[in-house]
């Protein structure tokens, strides 16, 4: 998909979240709400651990990336997501179980992608509380 225009993406439906955006604490820090979501799986992708980072990157793989499909995102929320995901991620369409097509942020710094998968449970236990606070401070510093 060329570009990451919030107006264009807002009309396209949901976001497949496979990493930190699965957590209510992170979504609340970014949006002051938790959008509607349903469990989803992206076959042919994996949520990969990234060297030196607590969050994952979506990378091609032979496994299935579990996550959630977030729906009902506003244009402002898409702009927040585009800024939050920064240039380390490209916004691309993926096929989910269902079948459903959704947008997701695919990781672009291939040199940091590790062979093992990221663990949402490990992240929740070790990093989530501090990560959500960082997200809240980041959001407060933004001018949307």
DSSP characters over 11-33: TT--EEE-SGGGSHHHHHHHHSS
CATH at 39: 3.10.490.10
Domain that holds residue 77: 6-141
Model pLDDT for residues 64-73, shown as the tens digit of each residue: 999 999 999 9
Is 1 a domain residue? no
**Which stretches of the chain are DSSP H helices?**
6-10, 24-31, 75-85, 120-126, 128-141
79 has a pLDDT exceeding 50 = yes
Q: Name the pTM for this structure.
A: 0.91
Q: CA distances (Å), 136 to each of 31, 58, 72, 87, 142, in order?
A: 9, 23, 21, 20, 10
Residue 3 has pLDDT above 90, yes or no: no
Query: For the chain, what is the total number of helices (H) and then of strands (E)?
Result: 5, 6
Number of structural domains in the chain: 1
The reply to whether 88 falls in a domain is: yes
Cα distance between residue 27 and residue 74, in whole Å: 13
């Amino acid at each position: 998909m060329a570009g990451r225009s919030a107006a264009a993406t807002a009309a396209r439906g949901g976001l497949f979240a496979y990493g930190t955006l699965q957590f209510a604490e992170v979504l609340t820090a970014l949006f002051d709400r938790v959008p509607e979501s349903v469990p989803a799986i992206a076959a042919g992708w994996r949520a990969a651990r990234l060297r030196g980072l607590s969050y994952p990157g979506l990378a091609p793989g032979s496994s299935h990336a579990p996550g959630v499909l977030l729906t009902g995102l506003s244009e402002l929320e898409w702009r927040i997501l585009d800024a939050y995901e920064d240039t380390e991620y490209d916004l691309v369409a993926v096929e989910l179980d269902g079948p459903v097509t959704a947008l997701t942020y695919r990781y672009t710094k291939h040199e940091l992608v590790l062979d093992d998968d990221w663990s949402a449970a490990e992240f929740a236990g070790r990093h989530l509380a501090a990560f959500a606070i960082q997200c809240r401070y980041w959001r407060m510093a933004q001018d949307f």
